A = this chain, B = another copy of it.
Amino acid sequence: MSTRNRRTFIKSLAIAGAGASALGFTAPSWVPDRRTADKLGIALVGLGYYSSQLLAPALQETSHSYLAGIVTGTPEKAENWKAKYNIPAKNVYNYENFDEIAANPDIDIIYVVLPNSMHAEYTIRSAKAGKHVICEKPMASNAEECRAMIAACNEAGVQLSIGYRMQYEPTTQELIRIGAERDFGGVRMVTAAAGYREGRPDTWKLKKAMAGGAMMDMGVYSLQAARYATGEEPVSVSAQSFTSRPELYSEVDETTTFQLTFPSGAIANLQTSHRMGMNTLDVRYQNGWARLEPFQAYRGIQGVSSRGSLDYPVVNQQATQMDEDALSIMEGTAVRVPGEEGLKDMIVVDAIYASVAQGGSTITL
């Protein structure tokens, strides 16, 4: 059985059997008509750094998805992308005619790569246009928006995937497996640090109204890591924020530390920052440990455990994610990181902001 066939077979089992409900999967109403299509067409909304430097190049390596269209407010960008990626004019939209995308059969999936505050609106409009959605992390500005996004996608019968990359990355998958299968017993403590030096005075990431700040931007990686390393949902959170550049970080957090507790008794001590680079994940188990550094880079995740190296082949995370999502959509199975996953993070992020506002109080989730 080929990898593709085995995968389809396993997914079919999941749909048919008890696994389906565990996945939150019920009615495959969104199985597309074009199931026989080899590739699904993806339209990128927002042509900033991540689209131009990561997603578009990744879409040159994908097998089950391709760059079918773009949405941009900048005519020059539209011209450049049309030429560079051979995109027909009819698949190029701007923010005025965006909703007309509903009538375009070339576009199966809309990938929302806009500033955080715009994720909810464009995800919901994409769903209403009948398109499946991949939405960049963080999923939205808050949990309430996430719930509206999930409801809109359910109502439209389209899938919603959140653009966390790490769950598609082999070394990270091995870390998740180690926790799930208790290779070293239960998780005792997770420590993670995710950050980079943000120095642009004009970026939307400094704006509260755009859902900027380090926690939203990079902190979700530390949070995700604690959740996928433990396989549990936190039951309490406390958080503290710090600012060294108040002239830039007057509206949003520059550095945030936060602590989580989990039902098993596992603890996470996490941090994120726009002040400096940091990219480490340490998991301490009952009888061992694992360390990934970097744990959330675009390439080259490296790991070691108390049993030895955790290095796996380097994959193009973005290509792997888009291909796997496209396959799930074609095959009518749940995507790996659905909207519910983004919502779970955002519930914690809301509590982190509440704790900081309350001077570090512990919030019960």
A242 CA / B282 CA spacing, docked (Å): 19
Chain B: minimal CB distance from A269 (Å): 5
Stretch from A71-79, A163-171, A271-279 contacting the other chain: A271-279
Kindly state whether residue A2 has any CB partner on chain B within 8 Å. Answer: no
Which of B191, B240, B244, B271 is the one whose CB lies under 8 Å from A265?
Answer: B244
* A261 at the binding interface (Cβ < 8 Å): yes
- Asked whether, in the complex, the Cβ of B276 is within 8 Å of the Cβ of A188, the reply is yes
- List the B side residues contacting A240 at CB < 8 Å: 238, 259, 360, 362
Q: Could you mark each residue 189-220 of chain A with 1 if its beta carbon is under 8 Å from any beta carbon of chain B, else 0?
A: 10101000000000000000000000000000
Question: Is A255 in contact with chain B by the CB < 8 A criterion?
Answer: yes
Number of copies of this protein chain within its complex: 2
Chain B residues in 8 Å Cβ range of A280: 282
* Contact of A259 (CB < 8 Å), options: B257, B261, B265, B362: B257
**Contact string, A51-90, partner B, CB cutoff 8 A, digits 1/0?**
0000000000000000000000000000000000000000
Interface bin, chain A: 20 to 34
Mark A172-193 against chain B: 1 for CB-CB distance below 8 A, else 0: 0000000000000000110101
When the two chains form the complex, which single residue of B242, B271, B362 contacts A191, counting CB atoms closer than 8 Å? B271
In the complex, which residues of chain B have a beta carbon less than 8 angstroms from the beta carbon of A265?
244
Question: Closest CB of chain B to A278's CB: distance in Å?
Answer: 6
Query: Measuring CB to CB, which residues of chain A are less than 8 angstroms from any residue of chain B?
Result: 188-189, 191, 193, 238, 240, 242, 244, 255, 257, 259, 261, 265, 267, 269, 271, 273, 275-278, 280, 282, 284, 286, 355, 359-362
